[in-house]
Amino acid sequence: MGGVSRSPIQIVPSVLPADFSRLGEECAALEAAGVDRIQWDVMDGVFVPNLTFGPDVVGACRRWCSVPFEAHLMVAGPDLLLSQWVDAGCELLIVHAESVVHLHRTLARVRELGARAGVALNPSTPVAAVTSVLDLCDMVLVMTVNPGFGGQAYISTMEPKIRELRSLYDGDIEVDGGIGPSTIAGAAAAGANWLVAGSALYRDPDGLEHAVKDLRARAEAAA
């Protein structure tokens, strides 16, 4: 498990629930609320049954904040636009293991382009699908919902998969989907240190800053 190291708990917003008509201001508000990075949910209507935004939209938001951007590529054929995501200011590109034929080549290409490489696993995909490429991964994302929409229920049966991955991999493990006040502790206790949240951040009646602080405290207490 040498080579990679993990960072402390990070709270990562998904911008899916944000106001798309003013995404730049929304990024600035997230940074002001204390998030550690921002995840862009890139959907192509093919790999998942939903459609969001391309590199130009993300690039236009880069100047509004300085927190790191990661592109969660829920697309068929992510190899096509890898350099455009790097040019848009994403320091980490997350490719789904199910979306490419040559995962080893794609992860290596992401690093060649100067970005960090991550791999995502759909709920039905076992850890075994990526054990032979963990040396090329700067992080691994375990989906805790079936990708495509926000506001879905957390799949707690993913926690044994997070524990299995944590036993094999010392790097950053991210979880995404249904993360909120009642679910974040389970994911953090299983070994995840990057926690993506969408609706739980935007629906907190006490606002974004309270939501970030609350989720961080719960995760840190459980980790």
Footprint on this chain of ligand DX5 (rule: CB under 6 A): 14, 16, 41, 72, 145, 147-152, 176-179, 196-200
Q: Is 138 one of the catalytic residues?
A: no
Strands 139-143 and 172-176, sheet pairing: parallel
Segment (H or E) for 28: helix 23-32
Residue closer to ligand DX5 by CB (options 152, 170) is 152
The residue from 41, 138, 204, 214 that is catalytic is 41
| Element containing residue 216 per DSSP (H, E) | helix 208-222
Minimum distance between the CB of residue 210 and ligand DX5, rounded to whole angstroms?
A: 16
Residue 169 vs 194, nearer CB to ligand DX5:
194
Catalytic residue among 36, 138, 172, 176: 176
Write down the least CB distance from residue 16 to ligand DX5, Å.
4
CB neighbourhood size of 112 (10 A): 11
How many other C-beta atoms are found inside a 10 Å radius of the C-beta of residue 101? 8
CB of 72 or CB of 218, closer to ligand DX5 = 72
Q: How far apart are CB 1 and ligand DX5 at their closest, in Å?
A: 27
Q: Return the residue matching tokens 């039905």.
A: 124
Tell me the C-alpha distance between 93 and 85, whole Å: 8
Looking at residue 41, the DSSP 8-state letter turns out to be: E
Annotated catalytic sites, by residue? 41, 176
